[in-house]
Amino acid sequence: MGHPTLTHADDADPRDRGGTAQPLLIARDLRKHFQVKGGPASLFGAGRAAVRAVDGVSFTLFKGETLGIVGESGCGKSTLARLLLHLIVPDAGELIFDGDTVAAPDGITVRALRQQVQMVFQDSYSSLNPRMPVQDSVAFGPYVQGRSQAEARDIARDILVKVGLNPALFGPRYPHELSGGQKQRVNIARALAINPRMVILDEAVSALDKSIEAQVLNLLRQLKRSFNLTYVFISHDLNVVQYISDRVLVMYLGHVVELGPVDAIFERPLHPYTVALLGSRPSMDPAHRIDEPPLNGDPPSPINPPSGCRFRTRCAHAEAVCAETVPVLGAWLDCGSHVAACHIQTPGSGHSQATTQGMA
């Protein structure tokens, strides 16, 4: 399958290695556990609980696409975002950026990675330094990467224009004087000032009003075209993910449960969790309201998750095999593949509804 949004202009970027055939990022079996401070029992050497935030996540990111990552709280998507930039160091697994392994002796250093990959944070009150004028916040990145102060300032001014903010008017302002949408534009400008090839957007529009969200989404689309970017778009809002993504990755409790092109995921979801998630979206039509919630109860905590398939405690199709074996995501060949980590989808898994032939 082709890449609908991939442009040809990648050969103009001198940093590109391997062209469009080579994925921009390969994540292999990423793992990150956080130790929970043990209770009194831990004094006596009893096992400490761990938050298994990201527990074996693998995926491939192709150049020029937008990969949407969805999931609810506790699924690990924010931790995953930070792992991709090595803001949190993975316990296990590897990251391969454009053919080079990150933080390996013969690969790419984390510092060099951060010249090509940047992150836009959620517009919380703490995403911008309250004591710094906006243009200094934006200029900080280029300055740190080696430019002079004057050069960095010019870059900052230039980028501010590109995100739709008048630098003469907004540059000297402090974050508290800006609205949510303006602050988020500054966040985007800060990420782009370094001239990255890939941008991770961690709930970048979630805190904005709907009308401002629309503006920022339009801006993100336009910037992606102008700067030839690849996006990883993390959000809990399924509608936004459907609009902006080419492919979607669904996470649940530290695992990837489904991965595929956006239309396939939204129209023909394979994993029971994805089905439930999609069915939980409020209907926009008062005449056709949702009568029964697709799922009951809260997402369990990532501390000591269920054995086998982690979704089995809430799944209507759970059987004995689901508690014994962890379902595997399934082999996928290219960006058109649609796979799910579910025993029903795996032929010969032992589940009563498993197909006997392979999937297309």
Sites for another protein among residues 144-173 (CB under 8 A): 144-145, 161-166, 169-170, 172-173
CB nearer another protein, residue 215 or residue 325: 215
Q: What is the DSSP string of 15-79?
A: T--SGGGS-SEEEEEEEEEEEPPP-GGGGGTPPPPEEEEEEEEEEEE-TT-EEEEE--TTS-HHH
Question: Is residue 334 a contact partner of residue 65, using CB atoms and an 8 Å limit?
Answer: no
The phi, psi pair for 334, rounded to 5°, reads -145, -170
Residue range at the interface with another protein (CB under 8 A); choices 55-63, 238-246, 334-342, 348-356: 238-246
Distances (CA, A) of 194 to 151, 155, 291, 318: 12, 9, 49, 48
Contacting another protein within 45-74 (CB under 8 A): 72-73
* In contact, 259 and 331? CB cutoff 8 Å: no
Rule CB under 8 A: is residue 214 a binding residue for another protein?
yes
Kindly state the tokens that stand for 231.
Answer: 């996006």
Q: How far is the CB of 134 from another protein (least distance, A)?
A: 12
| Binding segment toward another protein, per CB under 8 A, in 38-46, 93-101, 135-143, 331-339 | 135-143
35 binds another protein (CB under 8 A): no
Rounded to a whole number of angstroms, the minimum distance from the CB of residue 320 to another protein is: 24
Residue 221 as a binder of another protein (CB under 8 A): the answer is: yes
For the chain, how many residues are written?
A: 360
Residues with Cβ within 8 Å of 132's Cβ and at least 6 positions away in sequence, in order, are: 140, 174
Q: Does 90 bind another protein (CB under 8 A)?
A: no
x/- binding map, residues 252-291, to another protein, per CB under 8 A? ----------x-------------xx--xxxxxxxx-xxx
Cβ burial of 175 (10 Å; 0-12, 13-18, 19+) is: buried
Residue burial 317-353, b: 16+ Cβ < 10 Å; e: rest: ebbebbeebebebbeeeebebbbbbbbbbbeebebee
CB nearer to another protein: give 96 or 192.
Answer: 192
Question: From the list 130, 348, 350, 358, which residue makes contact with another protein (rule: CB under 8 A)?
Answer: 130
Q: How far is the CB of 99 from another protein (least distance, A)?
A: 21
Q: Whole-angstrom Cα distance, residue 156 to residue 229?
A: 18
Is residue 194 part of the contact set for another protein (CB under 8 A)? Answer: yes
251 binds another protein (CB under 8 A): no
Least distance CB 116 / another protein (angstroms): 11
Closest CB 306 distance from another protein, rounded Å: 15
**Least distance between another protein and beta carbon 146 (Å):** 9
CB of 330 to another protein, least distance (A): 24
Rg (CA), the chain: 22
- Find the binding residues for another protein in span 1-20 (CB under 8 A): none
User: Where do we find the tokens 């102008």?
Assistant: 226
- The single residue among 31, 56, 174, 325 that binds another protein, judged by CB under 8 A, is 174
Question: Closer to another protein at the Cβ: 214 or 328?
Answer: 214
What is the token pair recorded at 243?
């609009």
Residue 137 binding another protein, by CB under 8 A: yes
Could you say whether residue 96 binds another protein (CB under 8 A)?
no
